[in-house]
Amino acid sequence: MTSAREVRPVVFGVDTEDQDAALVWATDEAARRGVPLQLVHAVLPVTHRVRGVEETAHHRALRQLGDEELDKAMVCAHERQPGLEVTTLITDANPAQALVRQSAHAGLVVLGSRRLGRLAGVLSAASTTVPVSANAACPVVVVPAAGRTVEEPPYLVVGLDGSPSADAALDHALEAAASRGASVRAVWVWQRPLLGFIDEQAALESCHRQLHEAAAGRSGSHRDVPLSHTVLRGHPVEALAEAAEHALAVVVGRRGREGFTGMRLGSVPHGLLHRAVCPVVTVPPTAHEDC
């Protein structure tokens, strides 16, 4: 039996933007896992703005607005999953930093996508998707607004490239598929080098071999989950985004724990956060797989 100290909640970052689809994902995932849903809202401290009496009043108003948004989110979560335990937290902090802190005790962090540009996604104080995906201690799923078609029967796409972080992504994808009655499509993308001669056929055969070995080595504990293998040509971000257009989600591994945000996240997860139309799940490497 799971002890109380082992229960890791699903954390949802509450914003003032339209996040209905992301809240639904977080609520259903918490119910599916049998864990609490923690709703978190962060207000930038006064030190991040011009100081003064008027600013203090403005800060109080922002906290009140945050409390209202948390209350609305709690009502929606209880309406969707009446028996779910839901807690709330409002804090004075940079939103990304607050969510990264909470991730240390969470099983999953769920965010809505605001579709900021690449640079804004890294530098904007209001943005959370890139910095949280790059720094969280647990997997992070970024859910875009609703309005797309999910193919039946459902499936998840996972990007593999032979790295330890991709192994962690495959483990997550298999577990998520098992809990949803879905299948997994493991995709390896080969991109032709710009310079030099290469035997394309030999390169593709090598990709197929590595993909099969990588998938076979991680699927033992989820033999009931249908797992297919596909090697695609092209740019990894574009190929994975297209392959996952009608998927439940696309799952990718994060590079590691060192370096600045973009370097830690990796170019493929970073690109998918701005290109994919489905939810993007970024999985950090485990302690012994850090790269």
The string of DSSP letters for 121-173 reads: HHH-TT--HHHHHHH-SS-EEEEPPS--PPPSS-EEEEE--SSHHHHHHHHHH
> What percentage of the chain exceeds 70 in pLDDT?
85
Please indicate, yes or no, if residue 121 is contained in any of the structural domains: yes
In a domain, 105, yes or no: yes
Which of 115, 143, 171 is the C-terminal boundary of a domain?
143
The CATH number assigned to the domain holding 251 equals: 3.40.50.620
**Section 72-93 average pLDDT:** 97
pLDDT tens column, 87-100: 999 999 999 999 99
Q: What would the mean pLDDT of 193-197 be, rounded to a whole number? A: 76
Alpha carbon distance 119, 183 (integer Å): 34
Q: What is the bridge-based pairing of β-strands 140-143 and 280-283?
A: antiparallel
C-alpha 197: how far from chain center:
37
Q: Same structural domain for residues 42 and 10?
A: yes
User: Using CA atoms, how far apart are residues 186 and 250, in angstroms rounded to an integer?
Assistant: 10
Domain assignment of residue 149, yes or no: no
Task: Examine residue 11 and state whether it is found in any structural domain, yes or no.
Answer: yes
Q: From 86, 116, 143, give the residue that closes a domain.
A: 143
**Structural domain count of the chain:** 2
Note whether 125 and 172 are same-domain residues. no
Tokens of 152: 């039946």
Cβ atoms 227, 219 nearer than 8 A: yes
Which phi and psi (to 5°) does residue 37 adopt?
-105, 125
Name residue 252's beta-bridge partners.
Answer: 282
Instruction: Judge if 162 and 240 occupy the same domain.
Output: yes
Contacts of 215 (CB under 8 A, 6+ apart): 160, 170, 186, 227, 229
- Looking at the fold, whether 184 and 79 belong to one and the same domain comes out as no
> How does residue 115 score in pLDDT terms, banded at 50, 70 and 90?
low
- How far is residue 144's CA from residue 170's CA, in Å, rounded to a whole number? 22
Give the domain extent around 121.
4-143
Question: Distance of alpha carbon 148 from its chain centroid, rounded?
Answer: 18
CA dist., res. 215 & res. 231, Å (int): 12
Residue 228 in any domain: the answer is: yes
Whether residue 150 is contained in a domain is answered as no
Q: What is the per-residue pLDDT across 209-258, written as a single tens digit (0 to 9) for each?
A: 999 998 887 767 788 999 999 999 999 999 999 999 999 999 999 975 55
